[in-house]
């Protein structure tokens, strides 16, 4: 173990909040025995969660737990240490004709962080979240016990760890199934829509036809809020199995100027109109389709020193569009810089997992006190509709709203207590939500 002596200010991808933290780098599984680890701590991956989920005063970083442990080339079963990133997995598996079964909108998180958030991708309606593709986890509990857990052995720990945000134990290794591909490209059909109603209708109509779907929305259009580009995708076949050569470009920070409302409105208009025809079909490499933002280095700095918030919620399909409209009315004063809409299907998820069948809307805002208050206030629209906010992106939800949104909290806390009786595992998020 390599403890970093200094206490350093640390933040997640949204650069808010900032927490003073001592980082201990874990190199081997044996570093996780209780005699080595500090008394109160949290596992930390690549800090690609937006809010305070990966933050604590003392963290165990997985940056150096980056070894591949086993691979079956016949079945695609892969076991890696928790700190291996999705990008490292793609570099290993794409040339061999395999792909990630589920991927978030960035390739930089660690696989351990993805387990802790039970991440979803553009294919939730067809393939579910990560938990549906994981065979087993190796977890080192807060008491130092090494447990192999799956759907039959220590199944309580298995299900609580997906979406458990690091509070059930330290995921040391993940064994999961890759997806077969015969081409590294994606066939993409992009449709321009006139408003939110049409965007929702198109996403629903194309669910069975396309494995992947996502809609970019223009929420700043005065007359047609929710118009957008619906991007539908499926794996191409019979082409090359290559990696993407492009390097990320840098983007000027300009102290938050780029995210002022007039510039955002103009940017949205240009982005919407860049597609001249109503429907366009192309074949592109998987990298720009799944990870467009990774093409811009440190894009999170464009919000300036105050950082930004991403707020993602899911609401059931029934009355979901009306609910989204009401939510957007309530936060009208905040300029949304990016809005992305997807659907979730009917699949199992972890105990505090985020997905449930319905619409999921992710919104980015520059962080201001007023925006935080607006979002907190508007969260009651989500809870009233039976929806929930994603913990991997949260920095604003109150403990009261959290209890309303996540109905299995008591069950989760009982399991946490079983494996962490001295409450050694804690984070800024768990303190805020009263989960320790
Ligand atoms: C541009 C962008 C797009 C994104 N798109 C999506 C998306 O489409 N879908 C989606 O679901 N998410 C998405 N995310 C969120 C991201 O996938 C998750 O937050 C993921 O958890 C980040 O992993 P990490 O390694 O960076 O973990 P961190 O941010 O460091 O930590 C996140 C949580 O995981 C826990 N953790 C990390 N490692 C371990 C471990 N070894 N054992 C136990 N707990 C651990 C931490 O304690 C913390 O609670 C996106 C993020 C970004 C920046």
**Ligand 1 pocket check for 54: Cβ under 6 Å:** yes
Residue that wins the pLDDT comparison between 251 and 101: 101
393/317 same-domain check? yes
> Looking at residue 155, which CATH number applies to its domain?
3.30.465.10
Distances (CA, A) of 198 to 189, 195, 217: 16, 5, 11
Alpha-helical regions (H) of 143-283: 155-161, 196-205, 261-273
The count of C-alpha atoms lying within 13 angstroms of the C-alpha of 78, restricted to the half-sphere facing its C-beta, is 26
Residue 213: exposed, middle, or buried by beta-carbon count in 10 A (0-12, 13-18, 19+)?
buried
Q: Work out how many domains the chain is built from and give that number.
A: 2
Query: Average per-residue pLDDT in the chain?
Result: 96
pLDDT of 4 higher than 70: no
**Ligand 1 pocket check for 110: Cβ under 6 Å:** yes
Q: State the average pLDDT over residues 131-145.
A: 97
Q: From the CA atom positions of the chain, what is the Rg in Å?
A: 21
pLDDT at 30: 94
Q: Which pLDDT tens digit goes with each residue over 307-342? A: 999 999 999 999 999 999 999 999 988 999 999 999
150/242 same-domain check? no
272: CA distance to ligand 1 center in Å?
29
Output the residue whose Cα is nearest ligand 1's atom 8.
104
State percent of the chain over pLDDT 90: 92
pLDDT of 5 higher than 70: no
165: CA distance to ligand 1 center in Å?
8
Output the residue whose Cα is nearest ligand 1's atom 44.
166
Mutate which of 117, 292, 341 for ligand 1 pocket (most atoms within 8 A of beta carbon) = 117
291: CA distance to ligand 1 center in Å?
15
> Looking at residue 294, which CATH number applies to its domain?
3.40.462.10
Largest CA distance in the chain: 63
Residue 21 is assigned to a structural domain of this protein: no
77/208 same-domain check? no
146/207 same-domain check? no
Q: Which pLDDT tens digit goes with each residue over 65-81? A: 999 999 999 999 999 99
**Ligand 1 pocket check for 170: Cβ under 6 Å:** yes
Residue 168 is assigned to a structural domain of this protein: yes
109: CA distance to ligand 1 center in Å?
6
380: CA distance to ligand 1 center in Å?
25
Output the residue whose Cα is nearest ligand 1's atom 9.
104
Structure tokens at 351: 């105990």
Task: Calculate the CA 215 to chain-centre distance.
Answer: 16
Listed residues 181, 216, 233: the one ending a domain: 181
Q: Which of 292, 210, 211 is nearest to 244 (CA)?
A: 292
142/211 same-domain check? no
Q: State the average pLDDT over residues 29-38.
A: 87
Residue 281: exposed, middle, or buried by beta-carbon count in 10 A (0-12, 13-18, 19+)?
exposed
309/386 same-domain check? yes
- Alpha-carbon span 88 to 73, nearest angstrom: 17
Residue 279 is assigned to a structural domain of this protein: yes
Q: Indicate the pLDDT class of residue 225, thresholds 50, 70 and 90.
A: very high
154/284 same-domain check? no
380/248 same-domain check? yes
Listed residues 137, 166, 181: the one ending a domain: 181
139: CA distance to ligand 1 center in Å?
17
222/155 same-domain check? no
239: CA distance to ligand 1 center in Å?
32
pLDDT at 2: 60
Q: Indicate the pLDDT class of residue 34, thresholds 50, 70 and 90.
A: confident
Residue 324 is assigned to a structural domain of this protein: yes
How many Cβ atoms sit within 10 Å of the Cβ of residue 119? 28
113: CA distance to ligand 1 center in Å?
4
248/107 same-domain check? no
Residue that wins the pLDDT comparison between 375 and 37: 375
Residue 364 is assigned to a structural domain of this protein: yes
| Cross-strand partners of 386 | none
**Ligand 1 pocket check for 296: Cβ under 6 Å:** no
Phi, psi of 50 (to 5 degrees): -80, -40
Residue 12 is assigned to a structural domain of this protein: no
Judging by DSSP bridges, how do beta strands 336-344 and 358-366 pair with one another?
antiparallel
pLDDT of 133 higher than 90: yes
Q: Which pLDDT tens digit goes with each residue over 7-18? A: 899 999 999 999
- Write the DSSP string, 282-311: EEEEHHHHH-GGGGEETGGGGG-TT-EEEE
pLDDT of 257 higher than 90: no
Q: Which atom of ligand 1 is nearest to the CA of 120?
A: 11
Q: State the average pLDDT over residues 15-36.
A: 93
Mutate which of 48, 86, 312 for ligand 1 pocket (most atoms within 8 A of beta carbon) = 48
117/199 same-domain check? no
Determine contact, residues 172/111, Cβ cutoff 8 Å.
no
Lowest pLDDT segment from 43-47, 98-102, 178-182, 330-334: 330-334
Q: Which pLDDT tens digit goes with each residue over 264-283? A: 999 999 999 988 889 999 99
What is the torsional sign of CA 43, 46, 48, 52? Answer: positive
Residue 198 is assigned to a structural domain of this protein: yes
Domain of residue 196, residue span: 185-397
pLDDT at 252: 83
Residue 257 is assigned to a structural domain of this protein: yes
Distances (CA, A) of 56 to 130, 174, 244, 364, 397: 25, 23, 35, 24, 18
State percent of the chain over pLDDT 70: 99
Q: Strand runs (DSSP E) across 182-226, as ranges? A: 185-193, 212-218
Structure tokens at 226: 């929710």
- Alpha-carbon span 275 to 179, nearest angstrom: 31
Q: State the average pLDDT over residues 137-152.
A: 97
Q: Indicate the pLDDT class of residue 1, thresholds 50, 70 and 90.
A: low
């Amino acid at each position: 173990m390599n403890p970093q002596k200094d206490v350093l200010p640390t933040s997640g991808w949204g650069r808010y909040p900032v927490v003073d933290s001592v980082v201990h780098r874990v190199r081997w599984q044996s570093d996780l025995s209780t005699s080595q680890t500090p008394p109160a701590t949290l596992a930390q991956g690549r800090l690609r969660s937006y809010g305070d989920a990966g933050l604590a005063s003392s963290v165990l970083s997985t940056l150096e737990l980056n070894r591949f442990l086993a691979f079956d080339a016949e079945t695609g079963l892969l076991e890696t240490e928790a700190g291996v990133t999705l990008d490292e997995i793609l570099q290993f598996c794409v040339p061999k004709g395999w792909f990630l079964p589920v991927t978030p909108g960035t390739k930089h998180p660690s696989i351990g962080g993805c387990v802790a958030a039970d991440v979803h991708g553009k294919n939730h309606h067809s393939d579910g979240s990560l938990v549906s593709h994981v065979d087993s986890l190796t977890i080192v509990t807060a008491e130092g016990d090494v447990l192999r857990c799956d759907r039959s052995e220590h199944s309580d720990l298995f299900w609580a760890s997906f979406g458990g945000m690091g509070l059930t134990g330290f995921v040391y290794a993940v064994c999961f199934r890759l997806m077969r591909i015969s081409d590294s490209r994606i066939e993409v059909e992009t449709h321009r829509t006139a408003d939110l109603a049409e965007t929702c209708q198109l996403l629903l109509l194309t669910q069975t036809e396309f494995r992947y779907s996502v809609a970019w929305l223009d929420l700043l259009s005065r007359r047609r809020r929710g118009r957008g580009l619906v991007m539908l995708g499926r794996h191409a076949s019979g082409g090359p199995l290559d990696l993407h050569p492009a390097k990320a470009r840098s983007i000027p920070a300009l102290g938050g100027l780029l995210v002022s409302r007039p510039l955002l409105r103009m940017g949205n208009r240009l982005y919407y109109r860049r597609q001249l025809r109503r429907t366009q079909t192309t074949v592109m490499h998987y990298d720009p389709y799944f990870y467009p933002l990774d093409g811009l280095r440190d894009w999170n700095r464009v919000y300036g020193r105050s950082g930004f918030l991403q707020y993602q919620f899911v609401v059931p399909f029934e009355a979901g569009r009306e609910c989204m409209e009401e939510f957007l009315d309530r936060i009208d004063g905040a300029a949304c810089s990016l809005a992305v809409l997807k659907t979730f299907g009917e699949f199992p998820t972890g105990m505090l997992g985020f997905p449930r069948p319905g619409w999921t809307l992710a919104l980015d805002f520059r962080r201001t006190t007023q925006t935080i208050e607006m979002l907190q206030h508007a969260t009651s629209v989500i809870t009233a509709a039976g929806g929930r906010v994603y913990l991997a992106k949260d920095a604003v939800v109150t403990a009261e709203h959290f209890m309303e949104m996540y109905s299995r909290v008591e069950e989760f806390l009982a399991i946490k207590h079983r494996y962490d009786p001295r409450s050694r595992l804690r984070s800024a998020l768990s303190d805020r939500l009263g989960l320790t």
